[in-house]
């Protein structure tokens, strides 16, 4: 007898429908599984057998063949345990096929017959939206974010009983999410008020948050680069609903959505260590092609501390997502695309000794300094609209600090600036198209001659010019200045834009 | 050059090039012995100054005349202590090298007066500018500028001396590496110009690469060659302080250029001033010090400045109060924009606009994230 049970597996950040076909026939007793299962799927035969026996069901002493269709795609994860178990029960005649018609199943089985949640429940529910999806109790709220009809049961025998209508589908004892569903992420490590002094870096941070400009912080050890960067996430407004869906989906696919969580409301903040591999950063590891750090940073901040220590190959992998806002990962087992539109914030020392900046303060050999600066490829450095020096605060600032502005105040200005950008039809000014610049970021006469001087002197490229105008627009927005851009905001943008010389501490002119 | 003299130089060059040779060992080997005699003794393993016969094996692999031919092909003259051509300033000096390699015009070594202009390798724009000005004006005043061809102050002083134009005194460099190994590489062109105009000296054999100990060692030669040593900029433990110390030991006057008390690159020079070295502001001050030194007078007494008061530094238009406040907040040494921001309480936009205007007027020099008064 044959049973066909709908389910799904993860590939990247998408759920792919899988039909679990079970055939029970006469022959040598045993279970064969075909259809490119990976290790976790292959091992499910033992879990399924134990779960069936523990739940009081008979294990058919006949030949069982399980086919996972489409058979050309690799299947990963333990979520196929439950559909395989149901398939065996149906095919061996224990469960009436009519009872499970219209249901889909996703779940891992314990040896005692309990149903456990799997990573990516939300994403897995997507392709099964027109069926009633049966998941583990801990995953039901996550699965419902997809908009489909989802039910849950604690054990395999409960699943069978409830499908057959012998018992009602009851809600799990855990309460549905309320308020900020990702409470732990709503609490940022600290407030901007903790940052003493640093007026330039604070301004750059504010511009980065308001305009979506990538930010590079260069400074000696102990200057507070990391402290500043971690304050950035708190300045960003809550995610809009489409982005929140994407972020939740990606996090679900990565298995990082907390049980019982709803839509992610706050922008993520990801800070991978510089030992990160290219695969861990861009994604594509394991048969499920798990999203990487840049995918998980979608809609939020990707913070790379000690940028100079990252392998060059890893950094250059950032260029496509920085340009296009998506990442395309191709592997022998397939190709996936997922959104990766993030705000890149990086911190690094200016040189091996860390003290370069003002001439005469660094004791590194010029060759060593140049070598250190070369670790950043020109194209990557070019992506940073903002590159500023972070100096160690002076003793007087530490001992008698002037209180800095709190996150709440700055976040208010950021919100206003983003609203102005939204009125121009872009989420942030960094996304302004070049052809729109003349209309939304016009410059007055004095500012035009200033830009011309910089262009003629070779201090500014054509692309640099557009970036400076976008950044100046953001700075003007933050100061509440509409209309034509004047000299001060452009000189400020030119200054905050920094240059490679920032790393070398050279005289510019 | 007689045949006997040529053989002397060849054997000296061969001894100099033996692996493990140091100036002290070489001086002991050549002490009271003509080079061919010393060479034969080293080769035979009977030299009293080489009881462990460490140089015997290597010496047997070398033919002095071949070595000397390489020197001649490279345009390098081998100078022997006590012979013609050896710099007179080094005669009688306790640390004088027994053998010196020279390229360029060795006659320059006898030209007087000579002033050593030395300083840190990581110079500030201020130091580099002072060194270049000193080099140019001293060379124009027929003073031989002696330095080490290192990065920073040394290079600036030599470049300055070379820009003094025709008729100026040629520069002299004393380097730590072999004369065929320009170091640092970025000074290769400067090195060649000093060698073609003046002279470059080294107590290392051809092919000697840069090693940490050779640079302090050559500083004593720089000091000994000079009538006055000027330290333009030095960190608290900088290598140029070795030069100053070597000069002081030889009773050669040491002058120092004052710097900002906030500048790490001037910490060493300011310390020298506290210890009683003569402060110098420009070439006139140095020339006065040279004149006093050549009269054999002590340098403890203050030197009157021959040039009188300087013109007050220019400033921005007093009517522009923002520019004035920015100008006042910027030091002569590089000042970070953040510091200026904290001093002026302006917005960053207003500050950068004023700074841009001041840079355009040539009143400020701009770096990446800092300004200094031009």
Portion 21-60 of B in contact with A at CB < 8 A: none
Quote the pLDDT of residue B268.
Answer: 92
> How many Å apart are CA B371 and CA B343, to the nearest integer?
14
For B234: left if phi > 0, alpha if psi spans -120 to 50, otherwise beta; the answer is beta
Structure tokens at B74: 């490279």
Quote the pLDDT of residue B155.
Answer: 94
Place of tokens 């300011």: B270
**CB contacts, 8 Å: B127 with chain A:** 360
> Above pLDDT 90, what percent of chain B?
40
Helix, strand and coil in chain B, % to nearest 5 = 45, 15, 40
pLDDT tens-digit map of B17-61: 988 888 888 888 888 888 999 999 999 888 888 888 888 888 889
Rounded to whole angstroms, the maximal C-alpha distance in chain A is 90
Place of tokens 């800070």: A271
> Above pLDDT 70, what percent of chain A?
90
CB-based contact A490:A468 (threshold 8 Å) = yes
Query: How are beta strands B335-336 and B370-373 bridged, if at all?
Result: antiparallel
Query: Can you say how many angstroms the Cα of residue A37 is from the centroid of all Cα atoms in its chain?
Result: 27
Nearest CA in chain B to A397: B342
**CB contacts, 8 Å: A487 with chain B:** 353, 356
User: Which residues lie below 8 Å from residue B215, measured CB to CB, with a gap of 6+?
Assistant: B148, B150, B176, B239
Domain residue spans in chain A? 2-163, 183-504
b/e burial code for range A282-292 (CB count within 10 A of at least 16 → b): bbbeebbbbbb
- Supply the DSSP symbol for B356: H
Pure H helices in A164-224: 183-186, 199-211
Query: Can you say how many angstroms the Cα of residue A43 is from the centroid of all Cα atoms in its chain?
Result: 30
**What is the fold, at CATH topology level, of the domain defined by A183-504?**
Rossmann fold (3.40.50)
Residue B311, Cβ density class (10 Å: 0-12 exposed, 13-18 middle, ≥19 buried): exposed
pLDDT tens-digit map of A87-121: 999 999 999 999 999 999 999 999 999 999 888 88
* Partner residue facing A487 (CB), from B264, B339, B353: B353
φ, ψ for residue B113 (rounded to 5)?
A: -75, 165
pLDDT tens-digit map of A237-266: 988 888 888 888 888 888 887 766 677 888
> How many Å apart are CA B354 and CA B349, to the nearest integer?
9
Strand partners, B172: B146, B199
Mean pLDDT for the stretch of residues A72-80:
85
Query: Residue A401 — very low, low, confident or very high, per pLDDT cuts 50/70/90?
Result: low
Q: A329 CB near a chain B CB, below 8 Å?
A: no
The Cα of B348 is separated from the nearest Cα of chain A by a number of Å equal to: 6
Residues shown for chain B: 374
Q: What is the ipTM of this complex?
A: 0.75
pLDDT tens-digit map of A305-344: 888 888 888 888 888 888 888 888 887 767 888 888 999 9
Residue A450, Cβ density class (10 Å: 0-12 exposed, 13-18 middle, ≥19 buried): buried
The Cα of B38 is separated from the nearest Cα of chain A by a number of Å equal to: 41
State the Cα angle at A360 between A358 and A365, rounded to 5°: 110
Q: A492 CB near a chain B CB, below 8 Å?
A: yes
Position with higher pLDDT, A332 vs A198: A198
pLDDT tens-digit map of A10-28: 888 888 999 999 999 998 9
Structure tokens at B206: 């051809």
For an interface test with B, give the residue of A359, A400, A487 to mutate (most B CBs within 10 A): A359
CB-based contact A253:A79 (threshold 8 Å) = no
Nearest CA in chain B to A365: B122
* Partner residue facing B352 (CB), from A391, A488, A499: A488
Query: Can you say how many angstroms the Cα of residue B354 is from the centroid of all Cα atoms in its chain?
Result: 39
Per-residue 3-state assignment (H helix, E strand, C coil) for A352-384: CCCCCCCCCCCCCCHHHHHHHHHCCCHHHHHCC
Position with higher pLDDT, A13 vs A214: A214
Place of tokens 């594509």: A284
Q: B348 CB near a chain A CB, below 8 Å?
A: yes
CB-based contact A211:A257 (threshold 8 Å) = no
The Cα of A270 is separated from the nearest Cα of chain B by a number of Å equal to: 28
Helix (H/G/I), strand (E/B), else coil: A86 = helix
Quote the pLDDT of residue B112.
Answer: 84
Mean pLDDT value across chain A: 85
Q: B366 CB near a chain A CB, below 8 Å?
A: yes
- Cα end-to-end span (Å), chain A: 84
Q: A480 CB near a chain B CB, below 8 Å?
A: no
**CB contacts, 8 Å: A494 with chain B:** 352, 356
Quote the pLDDT of residue B308.
Answer: 32
Supply the CATH classification number for the domain A2-163: 3.30.230.10
Contact state of B122 with A489 under an 8 Å Cβ cutoff = no
Structure tokens at A474: 């953001």
Torsion (CA) A423, A428, A431, A432 in degrees, nearest 10: 40
Q: A509 CB near a chain B CB, below 8 Å?
A: yes
Q: B347 CB near a chain A CB, below 8 Å?
A: yes
Nearest CA in chain B to A485: B349
Portion 433-462 of A in contact with B at CB < 8 A: 450, 453
Contact state of A509 with B348 under an 8 Å Cβ cutoff = no
> How many Å apart are CA A137 and CA B351, to the nearest integer?
60
User: Which residues lie below 8 Å from residue B40, measured CB to CB, with a gap of 6+?
Assistant: none
Mean pLDDT for the stretch of residues A144-164:
90
For A231, B114, B303, the CA distances from B306, given in Å and listed in that order, are 59, 20, 9
For B119, B122, B268, the CA distances from B156, given in Å and listed in that order, are 10, 11, 19
Mean pLDDT for the stretch of residues A181-186:
44
CB-based contact B18:B44 (threshold 8 Å) = no
User: Residues of chain B whose pLDDT is less than 50?
Assistant: 297-312
Write down the pTM of the prediction. Answer: 0.64
CB-based contact A355:A390 (threshold 8 Å) = no
Contact state of B367 with A506 under an 8 Å Cβ cutoff = yes
């Amino acid at each position: 007898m044959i049973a066909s049970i709908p389910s799904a597996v993860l590939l990247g950040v998408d759920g792919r429908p899988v039909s679990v076909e079970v055939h029970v026939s006469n022959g040598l007793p045993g279970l064969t599984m075909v259809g490119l299962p990976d290790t976790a799927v292959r091992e499910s035969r033992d879990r399924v057998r134990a779960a069936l026996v523990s739940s009081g069901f008979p294990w058919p002493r006949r030949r069982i063949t399980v086919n996972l269709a489409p058979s050309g795609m690799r299947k990963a994860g333990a979520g196929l345990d439950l559909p395989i178990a149901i398939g065996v029960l149906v095919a061996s005649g224990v469960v009436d096929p009519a009872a499970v018609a219209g249901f889909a199943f996703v779940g891992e089985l314990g040896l005692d017959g309990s149903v456990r949640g799997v990573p990516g429940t939300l994403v897995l529910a997507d392709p099964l939206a027109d069926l009633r999806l049966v998941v583990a109790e801990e995953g039901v709220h996550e699965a419902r974010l997809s908009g489909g009809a989802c039910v849950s049961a604690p054990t395999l025998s409960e699943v069978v009983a409830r499908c057959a209508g012998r018992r009602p589908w009851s809600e799990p004892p855990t309460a549905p999410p309320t308020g900020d569903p990702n409470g732990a992420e709503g609490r940022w490590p600290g407030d901007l008020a903790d940052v003493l002094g640093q007026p330039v870096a604070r301004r750059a941070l504010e511009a980065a948050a308001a305009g979506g400009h990538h930010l590079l912080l260069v400074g000696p050890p102990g200057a507070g680069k990391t402290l500043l960067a971690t304050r950035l996430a708190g300045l960003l407004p809550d995610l809009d609903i489409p982005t929140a869906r994407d972020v939740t989906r990606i996090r679900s696919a990565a298995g990082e959505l907390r049980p019982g969580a709803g839509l992610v409301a706050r922008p993520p903040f990801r800070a991978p260590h510089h030992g990160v591999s290219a695969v861990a950063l861009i994604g594509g590891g394991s048969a499920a092609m798990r999203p990487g750090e840049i995918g998980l940073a979608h809609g939020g901040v990707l913070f790379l501390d000690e940028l100079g220590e990252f392998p060059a190959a890893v950094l250059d992998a950032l260029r496509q997502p920085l340009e296009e806002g998506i990442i395309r990962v191709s592997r022998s087992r397939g190709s996936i695309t997922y959104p990766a539109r993030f705000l890149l914030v990086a911190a690094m020392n200016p040189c091996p000794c860390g003290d370069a900046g003002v001439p005469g303060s660094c004791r590194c050999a010029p060759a060593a300094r140049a070598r250190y600066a070369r670790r950043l490829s020109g194209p990557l450095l070019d992506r940073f609209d903002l590159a500023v020096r972070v100096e160690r605060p002076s003793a007087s600032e530490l001992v008698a600090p002037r209180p800095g502005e709190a996150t709440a105040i700055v976040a208010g200005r950021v919100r206003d600036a983003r609203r102005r950008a939204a009125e121009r039809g872009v989420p942030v000014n960094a996304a302004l198209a070049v052809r729109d610049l003349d209309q939304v970021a016009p410059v007055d006469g004095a500012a035009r001659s200033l830009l011309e001087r910089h262009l003629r002197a070779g201090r500014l490229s054509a692309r640099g010019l557009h970036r400076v105008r976008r950044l100046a627009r953001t700075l003007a927005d933050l100061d509440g200045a509409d209309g034509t851009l004047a000299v001060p905001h452009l000189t400020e943008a030119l200054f905050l834009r920094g240059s490679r010389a920032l790393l070398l501490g050279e005289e510019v002119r | 050059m007689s045949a006997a003299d040529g053989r002397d130089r060849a054997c000296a060059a061969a001894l100099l090039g033996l692996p493990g040779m140091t100036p002290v060992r070489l001086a002991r080997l050549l002490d009271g012995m003509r080079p061919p005699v010393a060479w034969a003794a080293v080769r035979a393993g009977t030299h009293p100054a080489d009881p462990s016969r460490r140089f015997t094996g290597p010496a047997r692999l070398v033919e002095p005349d071949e070595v000397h031919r390489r020197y001649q092909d490279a345009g390098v003259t081998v100078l022997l202590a006590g012979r013609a051509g050896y710099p007179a300033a080094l005669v009688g000096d306790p640390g004088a090298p027994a053998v010196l390699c020279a390229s360029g015009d060795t006659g320059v070594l006898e030209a007087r007066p000579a002033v050593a202009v030395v300083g840190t390798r990581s110079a500030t724009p201020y130091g580099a500018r002072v060194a270049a000005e000193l080099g140019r004006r001293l060379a124009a005043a027929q003073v031989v500028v002696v330095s080490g061809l290192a990065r920073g102050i040394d290079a600036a002083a030599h470049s300055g001396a070379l820009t003094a134009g025709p008729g100026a005194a040629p520069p002299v460099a004393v380097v730590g590496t072999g004369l065929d190994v320009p170091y640092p590489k970025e000074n290769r062109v400067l090195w060649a110009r000093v060698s073609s105009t003046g002279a470059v000296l080294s107590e290392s054999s051809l092919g000697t690469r840069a090693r940490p100990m050779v640079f302090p060692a050559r500083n004593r030669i720089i000091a000994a060659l000079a009538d006055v040593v000027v330290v333009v900029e030095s960190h608290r433990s900088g290598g140029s302080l070795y030069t100053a110390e070597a000069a002081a030991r030889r009773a050669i006057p040491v002058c120092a250029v004052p710097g900002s008390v906030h500048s790490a690159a001037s910490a060493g020079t300011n310390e020298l001033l506290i210890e009683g070295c003569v402060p110098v502001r420009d070439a006139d001050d140095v020339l006065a010090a040279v004149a006093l030194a050549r009269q054999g007078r002590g340098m403890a007494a203050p030197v009157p400045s021959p040039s009188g008061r300087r013109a007050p530094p220019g400033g921005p238009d007093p009517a522009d109060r923002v520019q004035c406040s920015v100008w006042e907040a910027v030091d002569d040494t590089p000042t970070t924009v953040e510091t200026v921001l904290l001093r002026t309480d302006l917005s960053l936009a207003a500050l950068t606009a004023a700074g841009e205007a001041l840079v355009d007027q040539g009143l400020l020099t701009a770096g990446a994230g800092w300004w200094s008064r031009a």
